[in-house]
């Protein structure tokens, strides 16, 4: 409905969507299609695909007969669900008070600029996801950045750039 001028999807997106939708169909087959199954289905899709693709949410909405806006509402309500795929590297910047007063914002800004994305986003090559976190509990090391599982303390903007440069070389 609405403005129904169809748009042409590029071939690649379509192929990727087809793979995703077949995976989602496999998951859905395990469920009866009841509304109460929403959260478990979302969890399973997230686990299998690493995130909840939009086409998948629509598919799920239809399967359990819920409005797609409601499914989207639920998916965005819980922090555990991701709507964009996460990159191979997860960079998390602490934004807790301890880190904040020691310049976490500048570090975040630098990383955002270097990667060309905002916090919460993933680079288009699916290499990096940038996130912020409330407090890692390592305030003594503030400001803190965690790359994958490695903790980097006493960060500076230079150090942040170096970490990225090292990653990119590999």
Q: Interface with another protein by CB under 8 A: which residues?
A: 1-9, 54, 57-58, 61-62, 65-73, 76-79
CB 20 within 8 A of CB 13: no
Give the residue with the Cβ less far from another protein, 72 or 100: 72
Minimal distance, residue 136 CB to ligand FES, in Å: 4
Number of residues near ligand FES (by CB under 6 A): 11
Q: How far is the CB of 168 from another protein (least distance, A)?
A: 31
Q: Which is nearer to another protein, 84 or 141 (CB)?
A: 84
- For residue 28, the minimal CB distance to ligand FES (Å) is 37
When CB distances to ligand FES are compared, the closest residue is 96
Instruction: State which of positions 64-103 bind ligand FES (CB under 6 A).
Output: 94, 96-99
Residue with token string 């270097």: 114
Shortest distance (Å) from residue 6 CB to another protein: 4
H, E, C per residue of the chain: CCCCCCCCCCHHHHHHHHHHHHHHHHHHCCCCCCHHHHHHHHHHHHHHHCCCCHHHHHHHHHHCCCCHHHHHHHHHHCCCCCCCCCCCEEEEEECCHHHHHCCHHHHHHHHHHHHCCCCCCECCCCCEEEEEECCCCCHHHCCCEEECCEEECCCCHHHHHHHHHHHHHC
CA distance 82 to 132: 14
62: partner contacted, choices ligand FES, another protein, none (Cβ within 5-8 A by kind): another protein
**144 touching ligand FES, by CB under 6 A:** yes
69 binds, among another protein, ligand FES, none (CB under 5 to 8 A by kind): another protein
- Tell me which residues touch ligand FES (CB under 6 A): 94, 96-99, 135-136, 138-139, 142, 144
């Amino acid at each position: 409905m609405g403005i129904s001028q169809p748009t042409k999807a590029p071939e690649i997106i379509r192929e990727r969507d087809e793979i995703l939708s077949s995976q989602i169909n496999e998951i859905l087959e395990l469920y009866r299609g009841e509304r109460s199954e929403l959260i478990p289905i979302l969890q399973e899709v997230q686990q299998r695909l690493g995130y909840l693709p939009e086409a998948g949410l629509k598919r799920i909405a239809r399967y359990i007969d819920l409005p797609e806006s409601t499914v989207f509402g639920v998916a965005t309500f819980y922090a555990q669900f991701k709507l964009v795929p996460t990159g191979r590297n997860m960079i998390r910047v602490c934004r807790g008070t301890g880190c904040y007063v020691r310049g976490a914002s500048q570090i975040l800004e630098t990383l955002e600029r270097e990667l060309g994305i905002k916090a919460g986003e993933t680079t288009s090559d699916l290499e990096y996801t940038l996130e912020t976190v409330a407090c890692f509990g390592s305030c003594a090391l503030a400001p803190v950045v965690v790359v994958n599982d490695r903790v980097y303390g006493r960060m500076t903007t230079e150090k942040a750039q170096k970490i990225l440069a090292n990653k990119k070389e590999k």
